[in-house]
Amino acid sequence: MNTKTIDIQERIIVALDVDNPEAAKEMVKRCESQTRYFKVGLQLFMASYFEVVDWIIDRGHKVMLDLKFFDIPETVKLAVQQVNSRGVSLATIHGNDAIIRAAMEARGDLQLLAVTVLTSFGEEDLRAMGMTQSVEDLVLFRARRALKLGCDGVVSSGLEAERLRKDLGDKLLIVTPGIRPGSNVSDGTDDQKRIMTAGRAIATGADHVVVGRPITKAEDPAGVIETMQQNIIAAMSNPL
């Protein structure tokens, strides 16, 4: 169960998964009445470098920079130094021990999230890789290791959030992608396999949820955010 107090306008991080800075800025303007948190991923970053990041921060909002750094430790350290100087709130790295240690040396005030298992992965994908443990066990193992090495938190699906919160406590920051309105079960047509509603994810342990297409493809993005916020408030008031 999630007992943390976080402003409702920072619970939902809107994923700006668009291919140009103009589209990203327009989406921010359409959403900012309801949320103060936005994610810049690899596609947008490649199209705009820090332009959109700086622009969002200058408007008084927070940025999660989701580049999932994975390289030799010294390269990751230098990259994190670059991010730390820009006022970004959250950045993602892969959970390799050496990468985490290097990133921690350079993070400054930046909070670092270790990627556990991508939400596009399911049990069958792990079996195909020759791994015998469950997704939940692998996520917990990687999260425990990341926390021990000093990471602020992890990226994990809502399906693992409850166990992470129970086993690792409130110190861990949990950010959950794979959020879909009205469903806790994938219908098999989505590229995200481990999905959950915003309310259920927050109520069971996530601190923030990352939401892309359900918001950015909607006719009324701010309206969708508001509905999700109401879902979060209701779920936290009446946890299962």
User: Among 3.20.20.70, 3.40.720.10, 3.60.40.10, 3.50.50.60, what is the CATH number of 9-237?
Assistant: 3.20.20.70
User: Three-state DSSP class for 198?
Assistant: helix
Give the residue extent of every domain in the chain: 9-237
Residue 68 annotated as catalytic: yes
Decide: 211 and 198 in contact? Cβ < 8 Å: yes
Cα distance between residue 76 and residue 71, in whole Å: 6
Give me the catalytic one of 68, 77, 171, 193.
68
* Type of residue at 203: A
Q: How far apart are CA 12 and CA 228, in angstroms?
A: 8
SS3 content of the chain, % helix, strand, coil (to 5): 45, 15, 40
Global confidence as pTM: 0.88
Question: pLDDT tens, position by position, for the chain (240 residues)?
Answer: 555 789 999 999 999 999 999 999 999 999 999 999 999 999 999 999 999 999 999 999 999 999 999 999 999 999 999 999 899 999 999 878 999 999 999 999 999 999 887 667 677 877 788 777 788 888 888 899 999 999 999 998 888 888 999 999 998 999 999 887 754 444 444 444 456 899 999 998 999 999 999 999 999 999 999 999 999 999 988 765
DSSP string over 28-93: HHHHTTT-SEEEEEHHHHHHHTTHHHHHHHHTT-EEEEEEEE-S-HHHHHHHHHHHHTTT-SEEEE
pLDDT at 123: 74
pLDDT of the residue at 51: 97
pLDDT of residue 191: 44
The reported pLDDT for the residue numbered 116 is 81
